[in-house]
Amino acid sequence: METRRQAIVTGASSGIGAAIARHLAADGAQVLLVARSPDGIAQVAAEIAASGGTAHPCAIDLAEAGAADRVVQAAMAAMGGIDMLVNCASLTINADVFTITDEQWEQAFAVKVHGALRLCRAAWPALRASGGSIVNLGGIGARTPRRSIAITAATSSALVALTKVLADAGVDDGVQVNAINPGMILTPRIERTMGGGGADAATVLDALARAGRARRVGTPEDVASLVAYIVSPAGSLLQGAIVDLDGGMTKGI
């Protein structure tokens, strides 16, 4: 299998999505950066360009009708093909299941589940032609649901199920499809809750890891490295795999 060179990464304006985009670009891929924030993806694109890579910003809300088709059209115009699709976009709302509104449920599913499904469907012909790879980013809430992460649990579970369905289709069509369930990852959202950093931040991270019975709190780069492995020739046997990247938090078999 040849090294893949043309990637779409959603949720690419910050955190895990941005780290994945940077890593794939450093490995030599062109990357279409997809997110709602024009400023965010412009900054990531500039960082990739400064490091000698190639990135194309595509500011769009995946919940909008026709968004997936527009993303695929932009990818084909900018890169001439698609051989990687990483669905990382999500709308995270940490709230008790009884306080989440219908609108919040609908918005979360519109981005993480429907947006990913539509993008997989729209990109499938190009991925079939290239023998490409899809990686979906869920969350360990899919494996251990709790009332305080109800939306994450439900949307990630749905995305994991779709991964299995698409992986089955991919056996026939030559498309690799897998998913990653990240655990506690040091994203900007978590960093904002920790304050200024320094020794106190290290103490907080250690406490979080111990409370979750995890080896350590992960970084966006940890997730990016696993994505890069899955889409590489070394990861080509993986199909329909659901990888819990959580430092040991998931205790079930």
Q: Where are the domains of the chain?
A: 6-183+221-238, 187-217
Residue type, 22: R
Residue 118, classified by CB atoms within 10 Å of its CB into exposed (0-12), middle (13-18) or buried (19+), is buried
| Residue indicated by tokens 């649990």 | 153
**Interval 199-212: pLDDT, tens:** 577 888 889 899 98
Sign of the C-alpha dihedral, residues 82, 85, 89, 90? positive
**231 pLDDT more than 80:** yes
Model pTM?
0.95
Nearest-5° Cα angle at 191, 185 to 35: 70
Q: Are 56 and 33 in contact (CB under 8 A)?
A: yes
Q: What CA–CA distance (Å, rounded) separates 139 from 165?
A: 18
Q: What CA–CA distance (Å, rounded) separates 198 from 207?
A: 15
Q: How many residues does the chain have?
A: 253
**Interval 28-61: pLDDT, tens:** 999 999 999 999 999 999 999 999 999 999 999 9
| Local structure of residue 4 (DSSP, 8 states) | P
Sheet holding 133-137, edge to edge: 54-59, 30-35, 6-10, 84-87, 133-137, 176-182, 242-245
CATH architecture for the domain at 6-183+221-238: 3-Layer(aba) Sandwich (3.40)
